[in-house]
Amino acid sequence: MSRNNFSRVPVSQKAHTVKSSGDLSGIGSCVSIEINEKKVSVPLGTTILDACRNSQVHIPTLCHHEDLCVAGVCRICVVEVEGMKTLQTACTFPVTSPVKVKTTSPVVRKARRRIIELLLSEHYGECCSCIRNGNCELQSLAKEYGVDNYTFGHIQKPKYEADSSSSSVIRDMNKCVLCRRCVRTCIDLQEVGALEALNRGNETMIGTFLDKPLSDVICINCGQCINRCPTGALYTKDPSDEIWKAIDDPKKHVVIQTAPSPRAAIGEEFGIEPGHSFTQELNIALKRIGYDKVFDTNFTADLTIIEEGTELLSRLKKALVNKDPSVCLPQFTSCSPGWVKFIEHFNPEYLDYLSTAKSPQQMFGAITKTFYAKEAGIDPADIITVALMPCSAKKFECSRPEMTDSGFKDVDFGLTTRELAQMIKEAGIYLPEMPKSGFDDPFGEASGAGLIFGATGGVMEAALRTVYELVTGREVPFKNLVIEPCRGFEGIKQASVKLEKCVEKYNWLEGVELKFIVAHGTANAKKVMEMLQRGELKDVHFVEIMACPGGCLGGGGQPIPTSETIRSKRAEAIYKDEEGLPVRKSHENSHVNYLYENFLTDGPCGELSHKLLHTHYIKRGKFIS
Amino acid sequence: MYPHLTSKEKRGGPILFSGYNRGEGIKKAFSLKREDILFEIKTSGLKGRGGAGFPASTKWMLTAAAAAEKKFIVCNADEGEPGTFKDRVLLLEYPALVFEGMIIAGYTIGAQTGIVYLRGEYEFMLEFLEEYLIEMRNDNLLGENILGSNFSFDISIRLGSGAYVCGEETALIESLEGYRGEPRNRPPYPVNTGYMGYPTVVNNVETLSSVPHIILKGAEWFRKFGTDKSTGSKLFSVSGDCEKQGVYELPWGLTIQELLDFVNAKNTKAVQVGGASGVCLPKSQFNRKLAYEDAATGGSIIIFNKSRNMLKVLKNFMEFFVEESCGQCTPCRVGNVKLLEGVEKIEKGEYTLSYINTLKELGKTMKAASKCGLGQTSPNSFISILDNFKDEIFYPNGKRSKL
């Protein structure tokens, strides 16, 4: 139970939690309890909340989130437990004896309603002018409990100025209900610790270290806090007004690239069950909105694989053949901008381990404003590149000063799934009913390898398909190209594949066991970095890290709510789409090959590709000035 | 040397102030079996003196029964309840009782470490207490193999930083661990999962101080004082409108009126029993007994005479809670603000009685739904003052104040 890192200022909420019930249920002991006079049997240690949910008894919650440890601070879920003087929170109360629980007694109903009214009295703003209108847990609770007036008043003036210093995440504490989900997300789920509770009593607020602007602290822009905020206190910086302006400007050529994860999740914004992708419908919808071209980010995902794979092979050669001790292995992926900022803050001494390859988003921007502009005969100054991403950190990434290798801002706007859904709705389009269409050329073809970038392990799987085949001349030895060890939501996955009967060019790799690690969520990234520091990764060659739990499909720009079930459904949708694709290996993408033949003529990791497709990183450190 | 140590008059009392020789309690305790000590404490009926009144023996037994490689005894010296200043007297005048109570507790439950969580405002006594601990170590009353036994125990003192909520045992533990002082969810209780995750007994200074006497003179002797349900004596910190403010040790069960007479209080209108989180009683209830089963208190007795404005008294209390709520749970964080706003509305005469009744209802919800004792008790004074002094507050000069 004790927390292992006592030097950190932000406080883990884990010690407040109930002991895990897992080991108790393992021995099979059950308790018979009464919920509203109905007998049920539950494993010892189950919380009252879980016991009720399993018996179809609804308990309202606000500070509770299934991805996070319990807090028990909002008190919405209070229930009556016979023999206890006070009401107990269902989310924190572990059943260890045959208790009798009442979930809708007059005392309970009154308490819940009063608590909602108290929250509303301090909750500034009106629902109609809120970004979360229609998808707000406080609003739903008010409706559920029939709140029809502000019994305890309603705050008329904002108490705080919204912090819009970050390029990704905006914090408006006037709408905060102090459920602390963001704090728990930041410190416990992601182990970043940019957010914490400040002050005391009614001055309590969620803030940063010394209440500095978010842009000045160690926030990695992952946006996981947004996905778990029950209200409109946290949201992304929305560029859609500027995009609309560009679309309405006939001189501007507005192109959009769509990443695989938003396509697998955007249906949720239109009331569709998670697990359905709307890739082709989205193409039509985007055209109807007025985008001039719709491209597939998977195209540059393939390009990333070629560049990153080539880089890996050259690092391997330097290490294995030239015995160069300065080579940094394992090579870490660099396509997750949240992860990149994480390592820049927390492990800046290991930046050389990162692949220098840009993320697919940034490669796309650079290629669009150079190669595409030339091919299409458009002045790159008139091209506006928009990237539909599942990610809030992509907004920060595209505004990094080094991301201007095309001579312009490579990607003008990062747009999240939620923001695009809003644009589509505003354009009067119901996405699920759109006809289907493919992508525009010349970046319309993409392989399945690019598609699976959306799920944790996808980059690794894609890279292995290409690297293995390049080295041995044969397909990866996995049935149907599905590299199972890369899939699934386990925090850190380790596996290896042996390189045998290599082609002549790569005979120096003969017999090498290619070892790789896949991790998602920066809490797991931190563990991997600790392994690296302890020297445990000496024989590992390649590490994929995604900042968000589940990978991109769980990104900070994805539809709200999120949960492990929702994320795994999105993953299923991506994998299902992938199996149906004709081309499933990056190096077989003919458009990518065309690009190398006609534009990046000095090949992968060549001079031009180094200029356009590779980048460098900044040692930020974790100390805030 | 320590001018603040001198008291106005020689204290006397049946138990705690009855005189004590350093080391006596430990010596006797070491001659007893752990089970016997537990039995003795249980028989004595000793309950928590900080205000909550939880049986000390239950905490000890649960901790003793918990299997863990380490256990802790924490002495709660975060005496923050407004109007309470008894622990300060014990710490300054009877430190041996406090520390030996901790040692006996440690011996009984199998803990080797004791921590005194001293309220930040008591920093002035830190040096004195540290020196006292050194003396005890020199006399082999603390440290390795105490008095030649095979039991080792040591005590350290840690300072709080002035947060009222840190007197709540789980918030105190959070604070000890170096975190923001906020109450934890219970269960799990500290007796299982306390300081650093280990079983921990958190006892008030006065509770621990009673232990050596109980061990020396026996549970039956202890039970002779007080009532059936409130055994022993209590230190009352008496302040306000009376001639003899101070700390007095009196057996449980005396009436409020008896206490008022004892301190020469005249023209008393109201007595706040139990500090800001307690209840405010009018003259008609002065015949109530000071005991866990009737008018319970952690020691604070604040006396108000006829010249006092009860609404101002209430406002003062509510301002205190608005400031001292830890801000974690909704009912306490926002509820106290609403109660204070209600008081301000009454002050200005801009209220309706129905809204005041809604606020009283809110107070009941706060008592039922707050996470810790702070929010569960903060509406006490609001409800009791508005109920018990409604004529004065709502009908001054016999008329309803402005609507």
Res. A48: pLDDT tops 90: yes
Is residue A486 annotated as a catalytic residue, yes or no? no
With CB atoms and an 8 Å threshold, state whether B369 touches A115: yes
Q: In the prediction, which pLDDT does A441 show? A: 83
Q: In the prediction, which pLDDT does B402 show? A: 53
With CB atoms and an 8 Å threshold, state whether A178 touches B193: no
Q: Which residue of B has its CA nearest to A84?
A: B368
The alpha carbon of residue A20 and the mean position of all alpha carbons in its chain are separated, in whole angstroms, by: 26
Q: In the prediction, which pLDDT does B11 show? A: 78
Q: How far is B78 from chain A (nearest CA, A)?
A: 18
Res. A473: pLDDT tops 90: yes
Q: What is the pLDDT of residues B251-286, one digit of tens each?
A: 999 999 999 999 999 999 999 999 999 999 999 999
Q: Of A14, A4, A98, whose CA–CA distance to A48 is shortest?
A: A98
Tell me the residue ranges of DSSP E strands in B200-355. 200-204, 233-240, 246-251, 268-273, 279-282, 300-305
- Active-site residue among A196, A311, A445, A469? A311
Termini Cα distance of chain B = 59
Peptide bond into A485 cis (omega under 30): no
User: Do A221 and A392 touch, CB atoms closer than 8 A?
Assistant: yes
Q: What percent of chain A has pLDDT over 90?
A: 91
Is residue A176 annotated as a catalytic residue, yes or no? no
With CB atoms and an 8 Å threshold, state whether B369 touches A151: no
Q: How far is B369 from chain A (nearest CA, A)?
A: 5
Q: In the prediction, which pLDDT does B6 show? A: 45
Tell me, what DSSP letter sits at residue A368? Answer: I
Nearest CB among B187, B341, B365 relative to A110 is that of B365
Residue A431: CB atoms within 10 Å: 19
Res. A319: pLDDT tops 90: yes
Contacts of B371 in chain A (CB under 8 A): 72-73, 75, 89
Instruction: Give the separation between CA A85 and CA A517, rounded to whole angstroms.
Output: 51
Q: In the prediction, which pLDDT does B396 show? A: 78
Res. A1: pLDDT tops 80: no
Q: What is the pLDDT of residues A84-112, one digit of tens each?
A: 999 999 999 999 899 999 999 999 999 99
With CB atoms and an 8 Å threshold, state whether B333 touches A72: no
CB pairs under 8 A between A and B: 126
Q: In the prediction, which pLDDT does A27 show? A: 53
Instruction: Give the separation between CA A73 and CA B181, rounded to whole angstroms.
Output: 14
Nearest CB among A2, A86, A118 relative to B338 is that of A118
Q: Which residue of A has its CA nearest to B366?
A: A111
With CB atoms and an 8 Å threshold, state whether A203 touches B188: no
- Active-site residue among A52, A74, A186, A552? A552
Q: What percent of chain A has pLDDT over 70?
A: 95
Q: What is the pLDDT of residues A430-444, one digit of tens each?
A: 999 999 999 998 888
When comparing pLDDT for A557 and A11, which is higher?
Answer: A557
User: Do A351 and A619 touch, CB atoms closer than 8 A?
Assistant: yes
Res. A597: pLDDT tops 50: yes
Q: In the prediction, which pLDDT does A9 show? A: 32
Q: In the prediction, which pLDDT does A17 show? A: 42
Contacts of A105 in chain B (CB under 8 A): none
For residue B388 the two structure tokens come to 């018990």
Res. A2: pLDDT tops 50: no
In the β-sheet with B154-159, what is the strand arrangement from edge to edge?
B154-159, B113-118, B72-77, B200-204
User: Do B320 and B103 touch, CB atoms closer than 8 A?
Assistant: no
User: Do A398 and A566 touch, CB atoms closer than 8 A?
Assistant: no
Return mean pLDDT, chain A: 92
Q: What is the pLDDT of residues A555-578, one digit of tens each?
A: 999 999 999 999 999 999 999 999
With CB atoms and an 8 Å threshold, state whether B193 touches A151: no
User: Do B151 and B71 touch, CB atoms closer than 8 A?
Assistant: no
Contacts of B328 in chain A (CB under 8 A): 73, 178, 197, 204
* DSSP string computed for B241-296: SSS--EEEEEETT-BHHHHHHHTT--SEEEEEETGGGSEEEEGGGTTSBBSTTSB-
**Band of the pLDDT at A24, cuts 50, 70, 90?**
very low
Q: In the prediction, which pLDDT does A16 show? A: 41
**Band of the pLDDT at A625, cuts 50, 70, 90?**
low
Nearest CB among B187, B325, B361 relative to A201 is that of B325
Residue ranges of chain B with per-residue pLDDT less than 70: 1-10, 398-403
Read off the pLDDT of each residue in A388-398 and give the average, rounded to a whole number: 97
- Active-site residue among A196, A308, A445, A461? A308
Read off the pLDDT of each residue in A539-553 and give the average, rounded to a whole number: 96
Nearest CB among B180, B322, B341 relative to A201 is that of B322
